[in-house]
Amino acid sequence: MNDYEKKARELVKKMTLDEKIGMIHGDGLFVTKGVPRLGIPPFVFSDGPCGVRQDFAKKEWKAASYTKDRVSYLPCNSAVAATWNRSLAKKTGKVLGEEARGRGKDMILAPGVNIKRSPLCGRNFEYFSEDPYLTGELASSLIDGIQRNDVAACVKHFAVNNQETDRWDVDTIVDRQTLDEIYFPPFRKAVDRGADAVMGAYNLLNSEHCCHSHFLLDEVLRGEWSFDGTVVSDWGGVRNTEEAALTSVDVEMSVYNNFDDYYMASPMKKLVQDGRIREQEIDKKVIHILVMMQKLHMLPGQKRKAGNYDTVSHQKKLLRTAEESIVLLKNKNDVLPLDINPGEKILLIGENADRTHAPRGGSAEIKALYEITPLLGLSAGLGGNNQVDYLPGYISGTDEAAQEAAWQAFSLGGDAASRQGIMTSDDIERINEKLCEEAMRVAPQYDHVIFIGGLNHAEDQEGHDRKDMSLPYGQPELISKLLTVCPGMIVVLIGGNPVEMDPWVDDAKALIWMYYNGMEGGKALAEVLTGKVNPSGHLPVTFYKKLSDCSAHRIGEFGKKGRVEYKERDLVGYRYLLEEGIEPQFPFGYGLSYTSFQISDITRSGNTVTFSVANTGERDGSCVIQIYRDHPGRKYHQLCGFTKVKVPAGGHIQAEITAEAPDIAELYIGEDCVRCSKID
């Protein structure tokens, strides 16, 4: 028994049952009760993965409306994954931890490490990848960064929370081998690398509620993985008092204001008083919490680190992450980077050129100190000698400004809904036709035309899955038409999930993908467009040609209510495509650069691979080298190692990757899951 546990046990002995119960359930939306007479403070939680969430009234979902809770807005976890850079993930985590501590929080409810099983899941922007190794590596680096600041990270949502449809009640049926190969490894790695807390998921796994599943929490998490940290329920995720008492969930957090009626509040106390549950069961939970509090230096006599938020240093770090997350998907004839001469005129078309994303998406929403849009980033970066204009080209009708615009446009003759500022889909279609005509007419007058569209948090949102993978709001037609009048138009898509790229993708010369990229996202994009930064992001997911190429959809087992069976087993994402020989639009791991690289002198000793990377172009650049291994009994190979290296123009460097694979595994090396070759 270590000193923290000894002290925790001593404290528990002095506590009344009421005091213990106060520590194991929410006394407000984001806080539990402390025990002031013993010097134990209340414990304060906050979302989430994109920064520290705004404050709410203690017991109501009512924004506190302060100015003091404006914070740094981080690139979402998918963007962090697209960097393929562990050190940046750690630095990003450090920013999050410092901001959380600066805001007086004890636990940040991040990161989310659920596997992206389908490109329709509304929360995918909060998650990293379809691949367990990439997710585990970057999430654990991020957690390491967070926890440097006397703040606990809470890895969520344990487990298989891969769809939002019916998220409170859906029973996910997954066999043990699939759990071990695909869905568990990121959680396991987070635990092995010292995550202080784990959050249970809302859904059921094999008919047990995850928040008090004996299999998940007792057998796997505490048993097989020896997790000795704290297990927190998702908000409102506990559904049974007795099961919660007897399994390893330590804290129940809730969403409504009858906090004392919740399962682990008065009903739990009554079970103990009636002799149906031993008080020691409660003690175990309190001990976990008290050990964590000591690790965070929260108890009297301990010296706790101070945090900070909204610092210039945070902004700089987030810019770096944003820059490295941008993925160049096409660049025919090297049309990028743009060569913009003084006096040339630039036109940005598309709602995402002038739209902020921070304040939406669900619990990952952020009240950002600022958010640089692409329009602002490009205008500010060009130095005033160029005219930069913006045309919407389309509207999504999903924000107040657009609603207002619609009201203006239709106030003289629209229907009743549009007069009240609520647009119908017919209204949006009619407006979009006009906006398309306008863009087609105006665009040819410009020297450079950049389309910046994609998704927004009306699609990528907690509690909701997309219906299909199409690019919404008439964008496919708009892009196709614009490419006929401006064949050199650059296409930039922003979003949290892949979209179909038919029928325009073959016609577009240049294509950039950017995830929701934080407060400096627009600046980072401008730097990539103009060549100040050489892109080095790689896709952390497969971009399918069509939805039915994704295994979960092929078998019709996604987004159903009641019960979803993971019959595709381990054939998730690129594994399925490689197994079946299906061609993706863009493969997992893919990403271009303004220069090119060549790998040579590959040697292998056990599971360590050494090689040389040459930069054969004229710009300095960073390259992501990936190692895959074979999978016994399957045709596919799976990611088991990677490194990101910076190589100066014309130069070369030596690098080494230790693969997470047995010595006897076949290994492959390359720049994505398709362009890789077997190591002899």
> Least distance from C-beta 156 to ligand BGC, angstroms?
5
CB atoms within 10 A of CB 233: 28
Q: Which two tokens stand for residue 126?
A: 């909060």
Which residue lies nearer to ligand BGC by CB, 203 or 595?
203
- Of 395, 479, 405, whose CA–CA distance to 443 is shortest? 479
Q: What gap in Å lies between CA 461 and CA 360, rounded to an integer?
A: 8
72, 78, 80, 83: CA torsion to nearest 10: -140
**Given strand 171-173, what is the order of strands in its sheet?**
208-209, 204-205, 171-173, 563-565
Which residue lies nearer to ligand BGC by CB, 48 or 229?
48
Q: Is 234 marked active-site?
A: yes
Q: What residues between 167 and 196 interact with ligand BGC by CB under 6 A? A: none
Which residue lies nearer to ligand BGC by CB, 362 or 621?
362
> Least distance from C-beta 572 to ligand BGC, angstroms?
22
For residue 181, give the DSSP letter.
I
Backbone φ, ψ for residue 558 (5° rounding): -145, 145
Which residue lies nearer to ligand BGC by CB, 235 or 515?
235
Which residue lies nearer to ligand BGC by CB, 366 or 499?
366
Q: What residues between 90 and 119 interact with ligand BGC by CB under 6 A? A: 109
Binding pattern for the stretch 33-62 against ligand BGC, x by CB under 6 A and - elsewhere:
--------------xx--------------
Backbone φ, ψ for residue 264 (5° rounding): -95, 15
Q: What is the DSSP annotation of 207-270?
A: TEEGGG-IIIIIIIIIIIS---SEEE--TT----HHHHHHSS--BB--SSS-GGGSTTSHHHHH
> Least distance from C-beta 164 to ligand BGC, angstroms?
9
Which residue lies nearer to ligand BGC by CB, 109 or 494?
109
> Least distance from C-beta 198 to ligand BGC, angstroms?
12
Total residue length of the chain: 680
| H helix runs in 301-351, sequence order | 312-325
> Least distance from C-beta 183 to ligand BGC, angstroms?
17
> Least distance from C-beta 462 to ligand BGC, angstroms?
6
Q: What gap in Å lies between CA 81 and CA 125, rounded to an integer?
A: 10
> Least distance from C-beta 68 to ligand BGC, angstroms?
20
Q: What gap in Å lies between CA 618 and CA 329, rounded to an integer?
A: 19
Q: What gap in Å lies between CA 394 and CA 384, rounded to an integer?
A: 27
**Given strand 597-605, what is the order of strands in its sheet?**
597-605, 608-615, 652-658
Which of 25, 94, 156, 212 touches ligand BGC by CB under 6 A? 156
Cβ–Cβ < 8 Å for 44, 29:
no
> Least distance from C-beta 237 to ligand BGC, angstroms?
8
Q: What gap in Å lies between CA 624 and CA 16, rounded to an integer?
A: 56
Q: What gap in Å lies between CA 103 and CA 90, rounded to an integer?
A: 20
Pairing mode, strands 490-494 and 107-108: unpaired
Which residue lies nearer to ligand BGC by CB, 93 or 537?
93
Which residue lies nearer to ligand BGC by CB, 363 or 475?
363
Q: What is the DSSP annotation of 446-470?
A: SSEEEEEEE--TTTS-TT---S-S-
- Of 261, 78, 293, 283, whose CA–CA distance to 196 is shortest? 293
Which residue lies nearer to ligand BGC by CB, 35 or 71?
71
Q: What gap in Å lies between CA 178 and CA 572, rounded to an integer?
A: 10
CB atoms within 10 A of CB 582: 18
> Least distance from C-beta 236 to ligand BGC, angstroms?
7
Q: What gap in Å lies between CA 195 and CA 189, rounded to an integer?
A: 9
**Residue 465 is a binding residue for ligand BGC (CB under 6 A):** no
Binding pattern for the stretch 563-602 against ligand BGC, x by CB under 6 A and - elsewhere:
----------------------------------------
Cβ–Cβ < 8 Å for 593, 622:
yes
Q: Total binding residues for ligand BGC by CB under 6 A?
A: 7
Which residue lies nearer to ligand BGC by CB, 172 or 331?
172
Q: Which two tokens stand for residue 467?
A: 């219906």
- Of 311, 313, 309, 380, whose CA–CA distance to 346 is shortest? 380
> Least distance from C-beta 33 to ligand BGC, angstroms?
18
Q: Which two tokens stand for residue 356?
A: 């902020």
Binding pattern for the stretch 235-254 against ligand BGC, x by CB under 6 A and - elsewhere:
x-------------------
Cβ–Cβ < 8 Å for 492, 374:
yes
Which of 99, 131, 137, 234 touches ligand BGC by CB under 6 A? 234
Which residue lies nearer to ligand BGC by CB, 472 or 559?
559
> Least distance from C-beta 20 to ligand BGC, angstroms?
23
Which residue lies nearer to ligand BGC by CB, 516 or 594?
516
> Least distance from C-beta 56 to ligand BGC, angstroms?
9
Task: Kindly report whether the peptide bond that precedes residue 75 is cis, defined as omega within 30 degrees of 0.
Answer: no
Which residue lies nearer to ligand BGC by CB, 234 or 351?
234
Q: Which two tokens stand for residue 642?
A: 């990677």
Buried b (16+ CB within 10 A) or exposed e, 108-128: bbbbbbbbbbbbbbbbbbbbb
Binding pattern for the stretch 323-362 against ligand BGC, x by CB under 6 A and - elsewhere:
----------------------------------------
Q: What gap in Å lies between CA 244 and CA 259, rounded to an integer?
A: 16
Among the options 106, 234, 250, 399, which is catalytic?
A: 234
Q: What residues between 355 and 384 interact with ligand BGC by CB under 6 A? A: 363
Q: What residues between 251 and 310 interact with ligand BGC by CB under 6 A? A: none
CB atoms within 10 A of CB 17: 13
CB atoms within 10 A of CB 65: 11
> Least distance from C-beta 61 to ligand BGC, angstroms?
9
Residues belonging to the active site: 234
Residues that bind ligand BGC (CB under 6 A): 47-48, 109, 156, 234-235, 363
